[in-house]
Every structure is written in C-alpha cells, then in structure tokens.
Amino acid sequence: MERCTHSNWTRSTLRYVSRARVVYLRLTDLDQVARANFARAGLADKIQVILGPAVETLPSLTEEGTFDLAFIDADKENNLEYFKEAKRLVRHGGVILVDNVVRQGRVAQPEITDSGVQGVRRLLEFLRTDTEVEATTLATVGEKGYDGLLYALKL
C-alpha cells in the first residue's frame, strides 16, 4: 500500500516481483504521464488507484493483514490516522514507513505549532506506548536539508 506521490520504488520493485501489487491512494487523479509510465513499464495491471481523501478511503480497505509494506507520505496532520489504518492492513512482520517526520528539526522545537508538525508529534507520542510495533527514525540529509523517515515493524 502506498500513500504518496509517484514513486520510483514502486516501478523498480514491481518489475521484479510477479505477485506484487500497489494500492495507491490519491486525493486527485493521476496525470496522464504517470498512467502512461505505469503502462510503459508493464505495471498498469498491478496498481490500483483509489481516489479521495485517504482518511476516508483507507477504512474501506478490507484486506487486513495482507500488505507487506505501507508507505505514508501525505498531509502530516493525519499521520496518526494513516498509521493506525496501515497497521491494521499490514501483516505481522510487515513494515510501515512514514516520510518527513523530522521536518528540518521543527518537530523537536516546542514553539513550532503548525498542523504538520503537530501531526508528526501525535504519531510519535502514540508510538511511545504502542506495543504492536517497534519503530525508529532514520535521519536523511540532502540538498533539500534534513528530515527523517520513520520505520516501524509490525510485531
């Protein structure tokens, strides 16, 4: 399950795993370039696109415990809701990745109170007592600055 923008990971991974598929949640429809790229790569039949706000569409997925990986890269204020739904859908031993959880260090600055930072904080606070996952944050540094990716293993 992927909740993000167009991903090179998707294209490269699906090419090598014959049974793999992606459920791709998007607020708006994919542009024609993305659809053409999926088709050109021979992946169009492996990607299911569900349109609408993910907070509303995620609960409609009924394939509990069947996903190997969930990648969350969306509006940060709903990170906790996305994470809880991903945890429901990912199998034991599966992985949940949440992108942009350091936000240039702003998450650690109490005076920063924008909705994205607050959403990341709510997720991190929830994870402190969640006994169903083991989680850590991996720092990323690049030309856009620094950020981080949360890696959670469902126990």
pLDDT in tens, 71-93: 999 899 999 999 999 999 999 99
Percent of the chain with pLDDT over 70: 88
Note the residue count of the chain: 155
pLDDT in tens, 101-113: 999 999 999 999 9
99 within 8 A of 73, measured Cβ to Cβ: yes
* Nearest alpha-carbon partner for 149 in 69, 43, 35: 69
CA distance 19 to 4: 21
Range of the domain at 109: 2-154
Q: What is the pLDDT, as a whole number, of residue 16? A: 58
* Nearest alpha-carbon partner for 41 in 66, 26, 22: 22
CATH of the domain at 99: 3.40.50.150
The number of distinct structural domains making up the chain is: 1
